[in-house]
Amino acid sequence: SSSVPGSFRAFSQSPILGSNHDPHATDLSAAENLTAIQHNVDAVAVHNAVDAFQTTVAPVTAEMGYSLAEIAIRTLDVVHATSGLPWWATIIATTIVVRSAFFPISIMSMRNSARMGILQPKLQKLQDEIKSSPDAYDPAKMTEFRARAQALFKEHKVRPFMSFLMPISQLPIFLGFFWGLQDIAKYIPGYAADGAFWFENLAAPDPTYALPVLSSALMVASLEAGGEGMPVEYIDKAKMGMRIVALIMIPVAVNFESGILLYWVSSNIFTLTQTLVLKIPGVKKLLDIPTPVTPPPLATTNLSSFPSPFQAAVAQAQKNQPFVKSYANKPKSSKKQVPP
């Protein structure tokens, strides 16, 4: 039959198929092509994003080492490049990110301190028993007391070192950002002029002294809000000491760069907020943080308060050797008076 001029075969409606043709082959091939195109588009997008990131990050940071200060500068530069925030907001955002990363350690440390507060009366009772025991310096008795103290720690899931884990882990972070923010303007020239409000120059001290005063006030506020479960005597002494430190820090901090002070203020706000949130009963229950009872007067009960092996040996020697004991306590004889 002859074809009609101007007419077209409707391939989509009546395709010419062979006897072995899969009716789904066309659909699968189209889907595979679409997937391949999508993968290529994604690859191009990732490549462009990497190129944009590499051109945004300061080239000099790629040549840095890995000291505490250099790691801090690298971190700040990455946050600045990826977020597009100005440098003053980058400092705040980086502080929040880093402090949030250490939040689990804060929870473990706080949980351990709360359990230690609950355990304190039992430790005090054990210490009183040691002091009143006539065999306190006996090596066997000393070993027994140490074992009982260890059993109490294990029973209450208390690890004495855990209470110091948070400040120990925070020290390198604090020093790294302190040193890094001192030197960052040398590597990234645009950093200094990217301040805000009254601290427009991040590399210069705060001309109004508002940042150092605010930093010290927030430090004291964080301490006043915390201290739950600690003996009253310890809390009072710690608060008094921190108040003195906060007052001393004001005239010292007025000479620091505004970027450093902004980091301190941001970190202290995070600490204060975290302390207040973790005092909420529902939050404490959710995080398995026990509520300690009112602690007794401060006791220095720990494993180091038990008699040392040397003390035990001396006490045992004095107990078993009368000569040593009598010689040690022998009064000095008075010299005979020679008559003139």
Q: Kindly report, residue by residue over 60-119, the tens digit of the pLDDT.
A: 666 777 889 999 999 999 999 898 899 999 999 999 999 999 888 888 888 888 887 777
Q: What is the largest CA-CA distance in the chain?
A: 165
- The more confidently predicted of residues 150 and 4 is 150
Q: Which pLDDT band, with edges at 50, 70 and 90, does 34 fall under?
A: low
Q: What angle do CA 167, 297, 127 make, to 5 degrees?
A: 90
237 pLDDT exceeds 80?
no
Give every CB contact of residue 94 below 8 A, 6+ residues apart in sequence. Answer: 75, 76, 79
Q: 72 or 38: which carries more pLDDT confidence? A: 72
Report residue 68 as tokens.
């505490």
Which amino acid type is present at position 137? Y
**H helices then E strands: how many in the chain?**
12, 0
The predicted pLDDT at position 308 comes to 47
- Tokens standing for 173? 């972070």
152 C-beta neighbours (distance < 10 Å), count: 16
Position 31 pLDDT exceeds 60: no
What residue type is assigned to position 187 of the chain? Y
Amino acid at 247: L
Q: What percent of the chain has pLDDT over 90?
A: 19
For residue 142, give both structure tokens: 């000393």
Q: How confident is the model at residue 223 (pLDDT cuts 50, 70, 90)?
A: confident
pLDDT value at position 110?
82
Of the listed ranges 132-136, 240-244, 298-302, the least confidently predicted one is 298-302
- Tell me how crowded residue 199 is: count the other CB atoms within 10 A of its CB: 20
Query: Tell me, what's the pLDDT at 43?
Result: 53
Q: Are residues 212 and 250 in contact, defined by beta-carbon separation less than 8 angstroms?
A: yes
The tokens for 327 are: 């010689």
User: pLDDT band at residue 270, thresholds of 50, 70 and 90?
Assistant: very high
pLDDT-based confidence at residue 243 (cuts at 50, 70, 90) = confident
User: What pLDDT, on a 0 to 100 scale, did the predictor assign at position 231?
Assistant: 56
In the chain, % helix, strand, coil (3-state, to 5) comes to 70, 0, 30
Provide the pLDDT for residue 152. Answer: 82
Helices (H), 133-164: 139-155
Residue 102 three-state SS = coil
**Whole-number mean pLDDT of the chain?**
73
Provide the angle, in degrees to the nearest 10, between the axes of the packed helices 103-132 and 165-187: 140
User: How far from the centroid of its chain's Cα atoms is residue 202's Cα?
Assistant: 25
Q: Is the pLDDT of residue 286 over 50?
A: yes
